[in-house]
Homo-oligomer: A and B are copies of this chain.
Amino acid sequence: MLGRIVNGHQQWLCRELSDFGYAVARQVAVADTAADITQAVREALGRADVVLTTGGLGPTSDDITRDEVARLLGRKLFEHAPSLANIERFFAARKRSMPASTRVQAIVPGGALVLANGHGTAPGLAMEVNPNPFRPGGMASWLIMLPGPPRELQPMFLEQVMPLLRKRFPLDAPFASVTLRTIGVGESILEERIAPHLRPLVTEGLEIGYCARTGDVDVRLSGSGPEAARLVAEAERVVREQVGGHIYGTGDELPESVLVRLLTERRQTLALAESCTGGAVANRITDVPGASVVLVAGVVAYSNAAKESLLGVNPDSLSSHGAVSEQVAREMAEGARKRAGADFALAVTGIAGPGGGTPAKPVGTVFIALATAAGTKVINPFNPVDRPTFKYVTTQQAFELLRRELLGL
């Protein structure tokens, strides 16, 4: 509630749930106070078949979710011996003494299924609330409480919570969905190009959702019922016919994972030479497991001296064209490709801002070069946005330049 942390759990959990076919009705975040937690859990139990909570199970004094939920549901708390043993093992394995405050995490409400925490100390809890005093007719709900740290929550959810949900809450009807990830076309234009062609399928029950970021838009096609799979498959075919060249991937695929896959399949390699993106291209490529097979080397050459010594850029090019120029981008890419012995090299030089702009080369100016065995291409987009957005958008454009080259688009 203080804005110190991004709520990545809501995103992650919603994606896992909606990809399986469950509808997430609401996401709520409240402060760590007894009144706020109790009110939010009570309202959620009044609305939904399943309520998931995250966080508030830890050892510090503001971790009160377990106690407040037990009070709300009128359940006694007791110490759960296997959970205490797990906490003791956790500290012993790390050769650290166990702080006394940590023991509270082994306290669980009566009647709860205890979800073992393989990556931390606080166990998760799953409780059937039946009868459910907050729902019309006392209709049962499940309340599932998960620990806050992502690397504890995520495996616990996938290995223990999803099997429980699938068993207790099988889908009413077949569900199908696909997310097509597009780049290089705005949300309005995209809808104008695909929506008229999808209209017949929409009347049959197809649902279309758009999610726009800066410079890329997801199109999610989904449906429920006996015809769901056919509807979604036909809709995907229609969208690919209309805007196929803009679709870089499906589902969770990222441009960088697509590139690592394509290069790995072709046994080709990549080198990078970055100025204004400052390592963002390399960082995203190396986020992909297996990137080491395709990425030979990257150079972050902010200074002119580094451009000369690490990439072999001609000092005359720097003085006559300036560091932010088509010529220097070209030489950075060609230098990186040659020195690393790679099949391809991407180079980026530009003005990320907020400082450094001039009337001739304002903030947002950027040159992206792609060196290949056949020659070097340079594009010159204009990204007059804030510094983080500049780095993101420019990185996307560099990835798209290489994707189009690899696919001959």
Task: Report which A residues bind B (CB closer than 8 A).
Answer: 1-8, 10-19, 23-32, 36, 40, 58-62, 99, 101-102, 148-151, 179, 187-189, 191-192, 195, 209-214, 218, 220, 272, 277-283, 285-287, 289-292, 295-303, 305-306, 309-310, 339-341, 352-356, 385-389, 391
Interface of chain A: mostly helix, strand, loop or mixed: mixed
Contact of A29 among B2, B27, B58, B60 (CB under 8 A): B27
Contact of A279 among B6, B7, B18, B280 (CB under 8 A): B280
Residues B291 and A296 in contact, CB atoms below 8 Å apart? no
Q: With both chains docked as a complex, state the minimum distance between the C-beta of A221 and any C-beta of chain B, in angstroms.
A: 12
Measured in the bound complex, the distance between the Cα atoms of B78 and A16 in whole Å is: 41
Listed by A's residue number, 27 A-B pairs whose Cβ atoms lie within 8 Å are A1-B14, A3-B16, A3-B18, A7-B7, A7-B10, A26-B28, A26-B29, A58-B187, A59-B188, A101-B188, A101-B192, A102-B188, A151-B385, A151-B389, A278-B282, A278-B287, A279-B279, A279-B281, A279-B283, A279-B286, A282-B300, A286-B300, A287-B388, A296-B302, A297-B299, A297-B303, A305-B341
Residues A3 and B15 in contact, CB atoms below 8 Å apart? yes
Contact of A191 among B27, B61, B192, B214 (CB under 8 A): B61
Instruction: Please name 12 further chain A to chain B contacts, defined as beta carbons within 8 Å, in addition to the given A282-B283, A299-B299, sorted by A numbering.
Output: A1-B18, A1-B24, A2-B211, A3-B11, A5-B213, A6-B7, A26-B29, A27-B28, A148-B212, A278-B282, A278-B286, A289-B354
**Which chain B positions have C-beta within 8 A of A59?**
187-188, 191
Residues A296 and B286 in contact, CB atoms below 8 Å apart? no
Residues B62 and A209 in contact, CB atoms below 8 Å apart? yes
Measured in the bound complex, the distance between the Cα atoms of B149 and A303 in whole Å is: 33
**Which chain B positions have C-beta within 8 A of A19?**
3
Q: With both chains docked as a complex, state the minimum distance between the C-beta of A116 and any C-beta of chain B, in angstroms.
A: 18
For A382, give the chain B residue with the smallest CB separation. B94
Q: With both chains docked as a complex, state the minimum distance between the C-beta of A277 and any C-beta of chain B, in angstroms.
A: 8
Measured in the bound complex, the distance between the Cα atoms of B60 and A213 in whole Å is: 14
For A94, give the chain B residue with the smallest CB separation. B382
